[in-house]
Structure 1
Amino acid sequence: MSAKNRDNKNRWRNITVGFRVSPEENELINRAVALSGLPKQEYCYRRCLNQDVVVQGNPRVYKALKTEFATVLAELKRIEAGKGVDDELLSVIELISIILGGLKGEDANGE
């Protein structure tokens, strides 16, 4: 049995919540988690509770961004070769854009 944890409001975290996802959804979740720099548990419950996910720049986030940029570049080269753009690529590009905008200190309006 795992150890009980307390959250930032000193409440016990001793209940497990689980759900099923497709392999594609799992990949998107894992990408978002890596780009956030948060542990998967923290990321998931912040999103489920509609709380802000604030990305703090650190080496792990920058490595995830570098990896995602390489993936996006490969996809863009594939598209240039005559293939179509899929929605997953567009959502990853949008997520990277939002994160980079936040790291630069821009607000939601891009100012």
Structure 2
Amino acid sequence: MEKALDRQGRWRSKTVAFRVSPEENSQIEMKVRLSGLTKQDYIVSRLAEREIRVVGNPRVYKALKNQMADIYEELQRLTSAQEVTPDMLETLQVIAITLNGMKEGSE
């Protein structure tokens, strides 16, 4: 098996692992799906404080569609605005930023 280099031609030979709660994992997974990046590329970019550029592709559009469907179901279930969780608000913010960035990229 041939080893892959990163974009700067460096070997990625070190493993970094850490534990997260199920809720934190859900948030990470959602942000990774909406970014269109691999989890590794997303986490490395965020840790290096690099801007994440979302490029619209079928995988990103599907992730946006699925996430919006989940939010729609949750909003239908709610009876008042007080029931909206901070996690849902963060998810909505990430989707709005993603869609806004995709719109700006197409202009």
C-alpha displacement of 1:103? 0.5
Residue 94 (structure 2) aligns with: 95
Contact 1:34 1:61 in 2 (8 A): yes
CA distance in 2, matches of 1:3, 1:63: 31
The residue identity in structure 2 corresponding to 1:94 is Q
The residue identity in structure 2 corresponding to 1:98 is I
* Higher fraction of helix: 2
Q: Deviations over 1:5-63 (max 9, x none)?
A: 31111111110111110011001100000000001100010011111111000000000
C-alpha displacement of 1:3? 5.6
The gaps in structure 1 that reach 5 residues or longer are 107-111
CA distance in 1, matches of 2:60, 2:42: 14
Q: Secondary structure at the match of 2:104?
A: coil
Of the structure 1 ranges 55-64 and 68-77, higher mean CA displacement relative to structure 2 is found in 68-77
The gaps in structure 2 that reach 5 residues or longer are none
* Higher-RCO chain (CA-CA 8 Å, sequence separation at least 6): 2
Normalising by structure 1, report the TM-score: 0.87
Normalising by structure 2, report the TM-score: 0.90
Contact 1:55 1:102 in 2 (8 A): yes
Residue 7 (structure 1) aligns with: 6
Question: Does residue 56 of structure 2 align to residue 52 of structure 1?
Answer: no
Residue 30 (structure 1) aligns with: 29
Question: Does residue 20 of structure 2 align to residue 21 of structure 1?
Answer: yes
Superposition misfits of 4+ residues, deviation over 6 angstroms: none
RMSD: 1.6
Q: Deviations over 1:41-86 (max 9, x none)?
A: 000100111111110000000000000000111121122x246110
